[in-house]
């Protein structure tokens, strides 16, 4: 492409961007000044208390540590979190933040699964903020019997264990059991 054509296209693009920004600024100013009237005209019959700043600048560097994330064959990312105590609203907001960042980075849908230990008392799987409801899928291991898993592993013998046998063994500390949790954990990893 000739340099002159490229310069013309760049100028045209700047002009369009400038008009879009001017329109955006005009609408923002009008919304701030006529907030109550605009909200009523839009069919929302609630009273505006005040206009709140919308230029939210938050500069923060932090690591967001998801427990596990898998890309699935169907194009969906499966995000797994382990919880050993009750699931709080704060936990759900954190999971939602992980999910939103993952969607933005990988540009693909994400489903969050929360694997709960037998000690989790409150199983909260959703939170509603405004009109948005965020949900996770709960997997509770309380009904799995760690003692039975350990007995089966013991009967099978260490030399004949498969990769599929290892999974319940690894998850046995999260399961319901008759033995103490610590003893079950140590016994599970002693094999």
Q: What is the pLDDT of residues 98-154, one digit of tens each?
A: 999 999 999 999 999 998 877 778 889 999 999 999 999 998 888 788 888 888 888
Nearest CA to 108 among 129, 79, 66? 79
Greater confidence (28 vs 91) lies with 91
Alpha carbon 163 to chain centroid distance?
28
Say what the pTM is.
Answer: 0.67
- What are the residue ranges spanned by the domains of the chain? 3-41, 68-140, 146-190
| pLDDT over 70 at 175, yes or no | yes
- Pairing label, strands 132-135, 126-129: antiparallel
Entry field: residues in the chain = 191
């Amino acid at each position: 492409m000739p340099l002159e054509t490229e310069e013309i296209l760049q100028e045209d693009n700047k002009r369009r961007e400038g008009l879009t920004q001017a329109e955006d600024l005009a609408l923002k100013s009008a919304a701030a000044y006529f907030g109550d009237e605009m909200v009523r005209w839009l069919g929302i019959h609630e009273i505006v208390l005040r206009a709140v700043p919308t230029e939210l600048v938050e500069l923060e560097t932090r690591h967001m540590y998801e427990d596990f994330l898998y890309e699935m064959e169907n194009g969906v990312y499966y995000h797994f979190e382990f919880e050993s105590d009750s699931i709080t609203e704060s936990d759900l907001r954190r999971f939602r933040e992980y999910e939103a960042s993952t969607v933005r980075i990988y540009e693909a849908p994400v489903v969050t699964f929360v694997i709960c230990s037998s000690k989790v008392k409150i199983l909260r799987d959703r939170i509603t903020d405004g009109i948005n409801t965020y949900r996770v899928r709960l997997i509770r291991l309380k009904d799995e019997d760690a003692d039975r898993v350990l007995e089966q592993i013991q009967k099978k013998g260490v030399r004949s264990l498969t990769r599929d046998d290892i999974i319940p063994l690894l998850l046995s500390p999260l399961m319901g059991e008759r033995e103490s949790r610590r003893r079950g954990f140590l016994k599970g990893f002693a094999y």
